[in-house]
Chain A
Amino acid sequence: MSEEIRNNQNQNSSENEYSLNDDRRVRTLSPGALVIRRFIRNRVAVTGLVILVAMFIFSFIGGAISPYKEDQLFYTYNEQKKQYASIKENKEIRYVSASKNSFPSVAKAKCVMAIKKDEDTFEAKKIEYKLTKESDTLYSIYGEGDELVAFATYDIISSSTQGQDLPFELQYEIEKTISAGGDGFEFDGKSYTVDEAGTVLEGENEIGYASRYIVQAIMSDVFLTRSFKDQLISHINDGKNEFVFTDEDGTEAAYALTYDAGSESWNVLQTVETKVFDTYHSPTKEHPLGTDKNGMDMLTRLMYGGRVSLYIGFIVVIIESLIGVVLGGISGYCGGWVDNLIMRIVDIFYCIPSMPIIIILGAAMDAMRVDPQIRMIYLMLILGFLGWPGIARLVRGQILSLREQEFMIAAEATGIRASRRIFRHLIPNVIPQLIVTMTMSLGSTIITEATLSFLGLGVKFPFASWGNIINDVNDTFVLTNYWFIWIPAGVCLLATVLAFNLVGDGLRDAFDPKMKR
């Protein structure tokens, strides 16, 4: 106070001279204004207040003007090379059999030996087979009763129509024509022509083709067209490793060709674009803090997380203070057995270890699959219900000491009602201490909530909270590589709690009339 007067004296002395008992000489300030002045003079506390205001703007206004929603997912296109087909030049004899069981694999093995030894006959499974060499690339195999069971060739004959195989006899005729170097044949009353490229035509229609290359699609539902195969083969023969194919509908697709020396075959890789969640994307213009593990915008999550943390902090502290002030007030004012009873209850609650209890309840809520929204309400209630004893003790202590002071005796002596004594004289004197404690416990409540959310027992997905954002560091890869996920949330948390504590500290000093600077 004395300083106040001196300051004003200095100011006023330069302007006008007032007489000593002039009221204008001393500017009178209400106690509230004095507190505000003392608070403003405390630079550290004001810094805290500024941080708090910034955090509120960031969380509440920032969340509202952010272009994204709290749980909006972002996608990205991921280019993946998938194996599409494989192609191999045939250097081995292949067998085409009349029906599935007419030429078993034992016979195939015997046949190879017979071809190598230039023999005419071979025996497999007690069946005598006859081998006729039609040309260098074609062998006909006759089984029981001189019936043609299979032929062996280096060429592959494929049908031009999807899902329809050429009949065995027709294939045999085609192969015979090709190996003999002919250009046409008659089969089943129809005439066919075979051109140099191996294309088989029935009149004008292409029905099939023969080729030295085996081209197989990886997926069974993909049908490779003739022109695709031809272009592919010519690209491979040119030694290229990329290949762009335009199909009949005009759609272009790019393929990469890789040679696998082990199987002497070429792999055709198709570049496929897959839509995936844009997870852990580094900061960009659209996402200043990148995206998180679910592909959500980190900055927006951070804003909403701040909202949740501040909401929970405020509601918990309000619950705490309501219970604490009422019970502490009753206890302090009534005294006697009421006081004794309430203080024992306070003692009991003081002994209940709150963190473990909340962890157990959190785990239980996990087991019961409580809805995240309801869970948040439970969390606030539990935190508030476990936190009141400290405030009750404080209020009781204050009231006990205030009750004995002279101004209360004076108030009693003037004969005003009890309710007026309590609300007009007692409560206003408790409020400064209460505000300081509430501010400080806001900070600690936010830490508790964040710790629980960090452990996965507090606020749950899809809701964001600063704690559960940092939860991602449990994955060491995130801890190491994605700083933008967890450092900003931690800094926000630290800044907010620190600001609450600074403001609380500043208020404590400002409220204390004995404080001298």
Chain B
Amino acid sequence: MKPPSVLAGEEIRIDKRLPPPSERRTAHKWLKEDALQRYRDENGKGFELYISKIAEEKIRNHATSCVDHKREVMGLMLGGVYTHDEMTYSLVRDVVTTDLEASSVHVKFQREAFEKLFASLDEVGFKYVIVGWYHSHPGHKCFMSSTDIDTQKNLFNQPYHNALVVDPVNREIEVYFMKDGVIRTRDFAIYWDDFENPYHGTTIRKRVVRSDPDRMASPH
């Protein structure tokens, strides 16, 4: 029997695209003072990572929802990789997760919950690239443990891949990436833009109630 063979491959295509403008981006409210200072310094030049408000809220809510049980949470960050002015950057438009096998120091997707994850991937409504992963360290501060580093090395080892770590107890957040085999921190911005909203056009609109001239004229 012949093993599977690769006939041809098509590599990642990085499109040119303007990053979110400075008036539509902000620093994450859980950044520590040194990271906040770096954000201010970098804001004029642009960032290598932009996270949508929607994705950021989902990550924070997910992490916060498991604080009482002190359980870690985890998910995948979906978006795209783009280039502008010779700078490559990742845009996180949304996140997905599924049922987890988790403790206060470990987290993994439940094997039997992958199909739920796939259903969420199909529902995002845009052609995604998994540009990284997020997980929480409830009460343990933000850092990359040896397990996290292995995950980054084995799965997310491209410069545009990100590992977001959030501590919902101490209200801290940090993003890491790998370059030349070394884990480094990455400055990032939160952005909001109606056209980047993965659910753009599906928002429930408030009904405009028109005044009825006949009714207005009739006395009570």
The yes or no verdict on A and B being binding partners is no
